[in-house]
Chain A
Amino acid sequence: MYRYDEFDHALVQDRVAQYRDQVARRISGELSEEQFRPLRLMNGLYLQLHAYMLRVAIPYGTLSSKQLRKLAHIARTYDKGYGHWTTRQNIQFNWPKLDETPDILAELAEVEMHAIQTSGNTIRNVTADAYGGVAADEIEDPRIWAEIIRQWSTLHPEFSFLPRKFKIAVTGAPHDRAAVRFHDIGVIVKRNWDGEIGFEVLVGGGLGRTPMIAKTIRQFLPKQHLLSYLEAILRVYNLIGRRDNKYKARIKIMVHELGIDEVGEMVEDEWERIKTGELELPADEIARIRAYFAPPEYEALPAEDPGFAAKRFEDRACAQWVRSNVNHHKQPGYAIVDLSVKPEGQPPGDVTDAQMDAVADLAEAYSMDELRVTHEQNLVFPYVKQSDLYELWRKLIEQGLATANVGLVSDIIACPGLDYCALANARSIPVAQRISKRFADLDRQHDIGELRMKISGCINACGHHHVGHIGLLGVDRRGEEYYQITLGGAPGEDASVGKIIGPAFSSGDVVDAVEELVNVYVEKRREGERFLDTYRRIGEEPFKTRLYEERFHAAA
């Protein structure tokens, strides 16, 4: 993984000192809250319902054991003993004290981490495929390019007060595990006809109030031009993105209103003038960064470990776990292991300090000291030998991180919702907990198969409900929590935005409604169809009829 050199270290330390000064000026009263708010936001500090919340970046989701131990230490020392993995490869601490936040950042700097630009109208933490470097279908590790983007975007002087926040995601594989089509910019690593590495660049995707699928602005961008091209997009957006209405300020609205062709022309015009400048990436800098992401020293192993194959045969629970939580690795004899942070009935994405310490130890023992954080609020061990799988599985069970539900109905993405968030209209986590309990039977979940369930507590859509096969959006109806259901969303290469199926359900009814939707699918599915496939084949009517005419007559 990437390691800071003296320049990276100096920059992050400078930033901690600057932030420390800003906090001191706020506490002394020299800065008003109005003046301080954008400054603290640029360093990921929010004031939420109960307390401050600090969002720490985990660039492209890669963590070392040492870094995870530091996060555990921070949770224990400065917070209430837990943290929350977000849907954008960040971790949030929910209870830090303002005057201690500079110390937290100083501790993070010790392990090459920071909270720079995890909020504000800035270029946010760049995300990438959590399977980067190990996915069997990958063209190149997207983290090379995500790290290059991270450095360019960090404290970029021109883009610290954009019309609105700006999110970039990178995938190095055709199978999109990073939801690049729902980012302000999506970067897809591609090869051209000559076999050269470059990028397809997409722009104008996003969720929130107006969900949009990104459009391709450039089919192939040669790799040395990545930064100049991004700078051209950002400059055009900074100048002409709308600033009159917060809800129309994202680049997706600009692309929608002007059209991708016109935006494309403006970007090309800007890019032509800057592409051969200082931002043109030198080959040796690309090589320097690439070297950090070189494959680790794998052992030469048979493609299939016979010992593990036997264990799997003997232990049904283990086999079930392998089916949902273990993935193909590009290296023979290795596996990618998903750690489910969605145990039955628990808040999605919450981890205690003790769990973090335990995971750090396990990553050190079984995954070459490295782990990943997914945008689905789970963790990944990227380098597990198949021969270690059984032992690792037993140890993950002890930590409550081996629930065999990754990609299944109880692997729910949920935003913090009204339990924490100052913007929320309704709670998300308790609904996720109840759905998780309703579908607690793992055999049933495996029978239902892949089902992406996503819950947001308000229209800002941090829980990605628009791209859930089943999405729930919390709304406030005269002081009561209601949940609007959308069907048919998908975040990947077959991207689609879910469609609202009808009137919202009360908190008391919503879990029953979800179960009915699943029942309709189970009744109507054909061999091999996922929930999404069945929905796409039969349309919304059967689901609608069941909910609004048969099951919840009164609700309709």
Chain B
Amino acid sequence: MAKHVITANRLIDGLVVYLSASGGWVEAVSESLVAAAEAALEVALETGRAAEAGNHVVGVYEIEVDGSGPAMAPVSLRERIRAFGPTTHPEFGRTTESGHYQHSDGVEPVRFGDA
């Protein structure tokens, strides 16, 4: 099975978070708990749903990821944008160790004030 992690949005500020190995929620996808087997994914999802029922997070689901350690990143474009921020405003994105990813189509992020 491909590697998966559990994601949601935090209730209080809405920010994207990932389930960590300790059962808490972290903002960096690279620090999330990775499930590489069906059974482990099921357990992780259950933990996530419990947190949703406890009103800590909203909208729990699993996503596929690639790579490992600081280079770990979601596979889909949507989830990469969730993980790293809008591609149009890098300065408003997430400040993770992995930094901002480069777009495959060569779009260069533009900053305010650039002419």
Partners in one complex: yes
Q: Give the B-binding residues of A (Cβ under 8 A).
A: 26-27, 29, 32-33, 47-52, 80, 82, 94-99, 343-347, 350, 352, 400, 418-420, 427, 429-430, 433-434, 479, 481, 507-508
Given contacts A47-B59, A82-B112, A98-B12, 5 further A-B contacts (CB under 8 A): A29-B55, A49-B78, A82-B89, A344-B115, A352-B112
Looking at the complex, which one of A97, A400, A430 makes contact with B107 (CB distance below 8 Å)? A430
A540 to chain B, nearest CB (A): 27
The reply to whether B110 and A50 contact each other, CB–CB distance below 8 Å, is no
A459 to chain B, nearest CB (A): 16
Known contacts: A51-B9, A345-B114. The answer to whether A433 contacts B107 by CB under 8 A is: yes
Chain A residues with CB under 8 A of B72: none
The reply to whether A479 and B14 contact each other, CB–CB distance below 8 Å, is no
Known contacts: A29-B55, A33-B58, A418-B78. The answer to whether A50 contacts B13 by CB under 8 A is: no
A158 to chain B, nearest CB (A): 30
Task: Please report the C-alpha to C-alpha distance between residue A429 and residue B87 in the assembled complex, in whole angstroms.
Answer: 9
The reply to whether A430 and B77 contact each other, CB–CB distance below 8 Å, is no
Task: Please report the C-alpha to C-alpha distance between residue A80 and residue B103 in the assembled complex, in whole angstroms.
Answer: 23
The reply to whether A347 and B9 contact each other, CB–CB distance below 8 Å, is no
The reply to whether B78 and A50 contact each other, CB–CB distance below 8 Å, is no
Chain B residues with CB under 8 A of A347: 88-89, 110
Task: Please report the C-alpha to C-alpha distance between residue A270 and residue B76 in the assembled complex, in whole angstroms.
Answer: 51
- Of chain B, the residue at the smallest CB distance from A437 is B110
- Of chain A, the residue at the smallest CB distance from B109 is A430
Looking at the complex, which one of A51, A96, A344, A430 makes contact with B87 (CB distance below 8 Å)? A430
Task: Please report the C-alpha to C-alpha distance between residue A419 and residue B15 in the assembled complex, in whole angstroms.
Answer: 14
Chain A residues with CB under 8 A of B58: 33, 47
| Chain B residues bordering chain A, tally (CB within 8 A) | 32
B52 to chain A, nearest CB (A): 8
B66 to chain A, nearest CB (A): 13
Give the one of B59, B78, B106, B115 with max A CB within 10 A.
B78
Task: Please report the C-alpha to C-alpha distance between residue A116 and residue B105 in the assembled complex, in whole angstroms.
Answer: 39
Interface string of B81-113 (1 = CB under 8 A from A): 110011111001000000000010111001011
Residue contacts A-B, CB under 8 angstroms, 18 given: A26-B11, A50-B14, A50-B82, A50-B85, A51-B13, A51-B14, A82-B89, A95-B92, A96-B14, A343-B115, A344-B115, A345-B110, A346-B110, A346-B112, A419-B86, A420-B86, A427-B87, A429-B86
Known contacts: A47-B9, A419-B88. The answer to whether A507 contacts B105 by CB under 8 A is: yes
The reply to whether A50 and B107 contact each other, CB–CB distance below 8 Å, is no
A165 to chain B, nearest CB (A): 21
Chain B residues with CB under 8 A of A507: 105
Chain B residues with CB under 8 A of A352: 112
Task: Please report the C-alpha to C-alpha distance between residue A26 and residue B12 in the assembled complex, in whole angstroms.
Answer: 10
Give the one of B52, B103, B107 with max A CB within 10 A.
B107
Chain B residues with CB under 8 A of A27: 11-12, 55
The reply to whether A29 and B85 contact each other, CB–CB distance below 8 Å, is no
The reply to whether B88 and A50 contact each other, CB–CB distance below 8 Å, is no
Task: Please report the C-alpha to C-alpha distance between residue A400 and residue B87 in the assembled complex, in whole angstroms.
Answer: 21
Chain B residues with CB under 8 A of A51: 9, 13-16
B38 to chain A, nearest CB (A): 22
In the complex, the 9 A-B pairs of residues with the closest C-beta atoms, listed nearest first = A52-B14, A419-B86, A51-B14, A97-B13, A29-B55, A430-B107, A507-B105, A429-B88, A80-B92
